[in-house]
Amino acid sequence: MIEVHELVKTYGAKVAVNRLSFAVAEGELFGLLGPNGAGKTTTISVLSTLLPASGGRAVVAGCDVARDPQGVRERIGVVPQEIALYEDLSARDNLLFWGRLYGLGGPDLKRRVEEMLEAVELAEHARQRVGSFSGGMKRRLNLAAGLMHGPQVLFLDEPTVGIDAQARKKILDLIRRLNADGLTILYTTHYLEEAEQLCHRIGVIDRGELAALGDKEDLIRQIGDEDTIRFDLPESLLPEFAEAAARWPGAGAVSHARGLAQLRAADGARILPEIQSWLAARGQSLAHLEVERPNLETLYLNLTGRALRE
């Protein structure tokens, strides 16, 4: 449903998207995960025809974004990160307006507006001015406005930014329902847990480049299915510790960082008693212990050297 091949977008000398390639299947919920400024919004802007690409090719719902932008626009819905609504109008009037701009009219338009208000649980607030809505209500209406014309593909650009946990849950549930009904969704976020919970596949993007791509398990496999164990250890004891660890079944590489020894192990829990015994034999106690399961944050740190929330 979405095919992106070697996509490039530059602003003068600055490269915002650099040779990005990925594909999204029909009915898939695909996540683009990356920190602020990684190029997620630019990618959506190019795919939705708001910005022209500087290079590469993209096809959305069978239409080339460069050659047939009108065809793309007719088939997509876009929910921008900002609340792109008229706050001085009511929720219903906003949806009526956006519906008319997509060629809807008469009873069809009215029916669609009521359907959308129901879907985003705002029917009771239909006559209320959007300016008086909470952040979560505005986000839901923002989403409804992007769905008015029944698009085949939905671009969601960080739709949960700045709202509380309850409002976020409502939006995520709604997105799941839309996807379950067959809607293809490209979802950008810098919230790792959202990408993990929601998306079938995830593309990790940083500085405009795709750093990794796959489902959650694929991605974790890329950093190896090993736990990382960290604990207090004087650097002088590290060679002796490495020698001992090499004899333990399932133990991997040993390193030292930030005053802590770091051991990779297939199963961290099983190797902990060995470490404790080794330390006790040398009059040391097990202090500042951290056992980290492989996760996307680790992957992201490994790939980019940057934390997602930066």
Partner 1 sequence: MNPRLIATVVGLRLRRVAADRANLIWLILMPLVFSYLMGMLMGNWSATGSASKPTFIVFGLEPATEAVTALLAPLADHPDFELVRRDTTATPERARSLLEDRVVAGALLVGPGFADSLRAGLAPTLDFYHDSDRTSSQRVRQALEAAYAATAVRATVQSLVDPAAAPEDPGKAAAFDAATYDSLVAHPRVRLAVTSLGRNRTADLTLTLTDSRQHSGPSYTLMFILMFLLMSAKDLVLERRQRTLDRLRLAWPTTADLVAGFFLAGMVVGLLQAALLLGFNAVLFRLDYGPSPACLALVVVLFVAVSSAAGLLLGTLSRTGGQADGLGMVFGLALPALGGLWWPLEIVPDVMQRIGRSLPTGQAITVFHDMIGRGWGLAETAPMLWGLAAWLAILLGLAVYFFRREIRG
Query: Whole-angstrom Cα distance, residue 204 to residue 213?
Result: 6
Which ranges in the chain belong to alpha helices (H)?
40-47, 69-75, 91-101, 106-119, 135-147, 165-180, 192-198, 216-222, 238-245, 268-281, 296-304
Residue whose CB is less far from partner 1, 45 or 228? 45
Q: Which of 20, 116, 145, 204 binds partner 1 (CB under 8 A)?
A: 145
**β-strand partners of 2:** 24, 60
Q: Is 84 in the site for partner 1 (CB under 8 A)?
A: yes
Whether 173 and 166 have beta carbons less than 8 Å apart is answered as: no
Residue whose CB is less far from partner 1, 89 or 123? 89
The owner of tokens 């510790």 is 241
Q: Which of 25, 26, 62, 103 binds partner 1 (CB under 8 A)?
A: 103
Residue whose CB is less far from partner 1, 16 or 219? 16
Q: Which phi and psi angles does 292 have, rounded to 5°?
A: -115, 125
- Collapse the DSSP code of 300 into the 3-class scheme (helix H, G, I; strand E, B; otherwise coil) and give the result: helix
Q: Which of 76, 113, 122, 299 binds partner 1 (CB under 8 A)?
A: 76
Distance in Å, CB of 201 to partner 1, minimum = 25
Residue whose CB is less far from partner 1, 20 or 202? 20
Residue whose CB is less far from partner 1, 138 or 216? 138
Whether 153 and 61 have beta carbons less than 8 Å apart is answered as: yes
Of 278, 279, 233, which Cα lies nearest the Cα of 256? 233
CA 111 to chain centre: 33
Residue whose CB is less far from partner 1, 103 or 259? 103
Q: Is 74 in the site for partner 1 (CB under 8 A)?
A: yes
Q: Is 160 in the site for partner 1 (CB under 8 A)?
A: no
Q: Which of residues 35-54 bind partner 1 (CB under 8 A)?
A: 48-52
Q: Which of residues 199-238 bind partner 1 (CB under 8 A)?
A: none
Residue whose CB is less far from partner 1, 138 or 264? 138
Q: Is 109 in the site for partner 1 (CB under 8 A)?
A: no
Q: Which range binds partner 1 by CB under 8 A, 89-97, 120-128, 202-210, 295-303?
A: 89-97
Distance in Å, CB of 27 to partner 1, minimum = 22
**How do 29-33 and 201-206 pair as beta strands?**
parallel
Q: Which phi and psi angles does 37 have, rounded to 5°?
A: 85, 10
Q: Which of 89, 220, 238, 253 binds partner 1 (CB under 8 A)?
A: 89
Query: Whole-angstrom Cα distance, residue 74 to residue 298?
Result: 39
Task: Give residues in contact with partner 1 (CB under 8 A).
Answer: 48-52, 73-74, 76, 78, 80-86, 88-89, 93, 97-98, 100-103, 105, 145
